[in-house]
Structure 1
Amino acid sequence: MTALATLTTQAADKPPLRYVEKVDNLLTAAPQPPTTFQDTLGAALARQLGRPVQYVRLPRNRIMGALENGDGDILCSYLPEWLPGDVEWTRAFIPISEVVVTSPRVPAPATVADLRGKRLGTVLGFHYPELEKILGQDYIRDDAPSSNLSMRKWLAGRFDYLVLPRNLIDKQIANGKVPPGYHILTVYEVKTKCAVSRTSDIGVATFNSAIEALEKSGELPKMLKLR
Structure 2
Amino acid sequence: MIIASLAATLLLAVASAQAADKAPLRYIEKVDGLLTSGYQPPSVFQDRLGAALARQLGRPVQYVQLPRTRVMGALEAGEGDILCSYLPEWLPGDVDWTAAFIPISEVVLTSPRVKPPATVADLRGKRLGTVLGFRYPELEKVVGQDYSRDDAPSSALSVRKWLAGRFDHLVAPRNVVERYLADGQLPPGSHMLTVYEVKAKCVVSRKSRIGIAEFNSAIEALEKNGELAKILKLR
What TM-score does the superposition give when structure 2 sets the normalisation length? Answer: 0.93
Q: Where does residue 117 of structure 2 map in the other structure?
A: 109
Runs of at least 5 residues in structure 2 that lack an aligned partner in the other structure: 1-8
Q: Cα deviations across residues 184-210 of structure 1 (Å, max 9, x unaligned)?
A: 000000000000000001111110000
Q: Where does residue 141 of structure 1 map in the other structure?
A: 149
CA displacement at 1:27 relative to structure 2: 4.3
Q: Where does residue 86 of structure 1 map in the other structure?
A: 94
Aligned mates of 2:41, 2:168 — CA distance in 1: 27
Contact kept, 8 Å, 1:23 with 1:33, in 2: the verdict is: no
Q: Where does residue 223 of structure 1 map in the other structure?
A: 231
Kindly indicate whether residue 197 of structure 2 is the aligned counterpart of residue 189 of structure 1: yes
CA displacement at 1:25 relative to structure 2: 3.6
Q: Cα deviations across residues 8-41 of structure 1 (Å, max 9, x unaligned)?
A: 0000000000000101141435986431000100
Kindly indicate whether residue 22 of structure 2 is the aligned counterpart of residue 6 of structure 1: no
The one-letter amino acid paired with 1:73 is D
- Give the alignment's Cα RMSD to 1 decimal: 1.4
Contact kept, 8 Å, 1:104 with 1:182, in 2: the verdict is: yes
Distance 1:63 1:157, change over 3 A: same
Instruction: Give secondary structure in 2 for the equivalent of 1:121.
Output: strand
Q: Cα deviations across residues 148-191 of structure 1 (Å, max 9, x unaligned)?
A: 11111100111000111111111111112111110100000000
The one-letter amino acid paired with 1:201 is R
Match runs of 1:41-60 below 5 Å: 41-60=49-68
Contact kept, 8 Å, 2:156 with 2:176, in 1: the verdict is: no
Contact kept, 8 Å, 1:23 with 1:31, in 2: the verdict is: no
Q: Cα deviations across residues 54-97 of structure 1 (Å, max 9, x unaligned)?
A: 00011111111111111100000000111111100001000000
What TM-score does the superposition give when structure 1 sets the normalisation length? Answer: 0.96
Question: Could you say which structure has the larger radius of gyration?
Answer: 2
Q: Where does residue 182 of structure 2 map in the other structure?
A: 174
Q: Where does residue 215 of structure 2 map in the other structure?
A: 207
Contact kept, 8 Å, 2:54 with 2:61, in 1: the verdict is: yes
Q: Where does residue 29 of structure 2 map in the other structure?
A: 21
Query: Kindly, what percent of the aligned residue pairs are identical?
Result: 76
Kindly indicate whether residue 168 of structure 2 is the aligned counterpart of residue 160 of structure 1: yes
The one-letter amino acid paired with 1:5 is A
Q: Where does residue 75 of structure 2 map in the other structure?
A: 67
Q: Where does residue 99 of structure 1 map in the other structure?
A: 107
Aligned mates of 1:30, 1:203 — CA distance in 2: 31
CA displacement at 1:139 relative to structure 2: 2.3
Contact kept, 8 Å, 1:121 with 1:163, in 2: the verdict is: yes
The runs of 4+ residues in structure 1 deviating greater than 2 Å are 27-34
